Amino acid sequence: MTQKKGSLVCVGTGMQLAGQITVLAKSYIESADIVFTLVPEAYTERWLKKLNGDVRSLQGYYAQEGEVKNRRNTYDEMVTAILTEVRNGQNVVCALYGHPGVFACVSHLAIEQAKEEGYNAQMLPGVSAEACLWADLGIDPGSCGHQSYEASQFMFFEHKPDPSTHLLLWQIGIAGEHTLTQFNTCSDKLQVLVEHLLQWYPVDHKVVLYEAASLPTQAPRIERISLSLLPQAQLSGITTLLIPPSQTLTYNEAVLTKLGITAGDLG
């Protein structure tokens, strides 16, 4: 099949203004015909406009003040706006906050649709909130492993965490929200989450509320609280809950025996 002229590249701006964008992502932004952007603050958007003369924010597709709007409809409208320009033969870049493919369904939907219609479409990796979290907290996730879930998904489905690893719950600020019309949660829903977690963690287990810094002059939010206090915590749309291990790793003696080694051989 002959490749059509229009194209789409989804890139990430990183978590901090300008400093965490890759050289390759920046070059695509500079050479694009049109740049669609979805970033949380005006500083990054203004910086992007210095790189390209046609930068269009997607923020206006979200529900405006007093409006009730399902986010699925919002995302469909964003994808339509992006694909319209691709179909018009434009080389389009979609610049998204953080990593363009992590908790960012618009990029996945747009790339999938563009490819189905015969256009060249790709995603470039970016610096994510998770990458910043490990760096800011000084944790090597390889030391004992980690599990990662969207907070509401963790509540709605039969996920079973391993308390000997780190557990990340994303979008804790909307935990338990199922209508896709709200951008916040409430203490009652967070209490349900706490009670669910008590199956694996002590009530006084220390957890971390984390928010990556969005400006070089800011410090990340690293707030340690007892699990029991989560329903009273101040949360935002970018708050992540890190639950450190509450148990130590245990050896799998059956596998070690098959390998002909002992726990002592592992130091």
Token pair 């990029």 is found at 107
Catalytic residue list contains 149:
no
Catalytic, 75? Answer: yes
Is-catalytic flag, 71? Answer: yes
Catalytic entry in 43, 56, 62, 71: 71
Catalytic residue among 75, 119, 201, 210: 75
- The dihedral built from the CA positions of residue 84, 85, 90 and 92, taken in this order, carries a sign that is negative
Q: What is the DSSP string of the chain?
A: -PPPS-EEEEEE-BSSTTTTS-HHHHHHHHH-SEEEEE-SSHHHHHHHHHH-S-EEESGGGS--TT----HHHHHHHHHHHHHHHHHTT-EEEEEESB-TTSS-HHHHHHHHHHHHTT-EEEE-----HHHHHHHHHT--GGGT-EEEEEHHHHHHTT----TTSEEEEE-GGGTT--SSS-S---HHHHHHHHHHHTTTS-TT-EEEEEE--SSTTS--EEEEEEGGGGGGS---TT-EEEE--SS-----HHHHHHHT--GGGG-
Catalytic residue among 61, 97, 119, 210: 97
Residue in the structure block whose two tokens are 């967070």: 190
Alpha-carbon distance of 57 to 31, in angstroms, equals 18
Residues noted as catalytic: 71, 75, 97
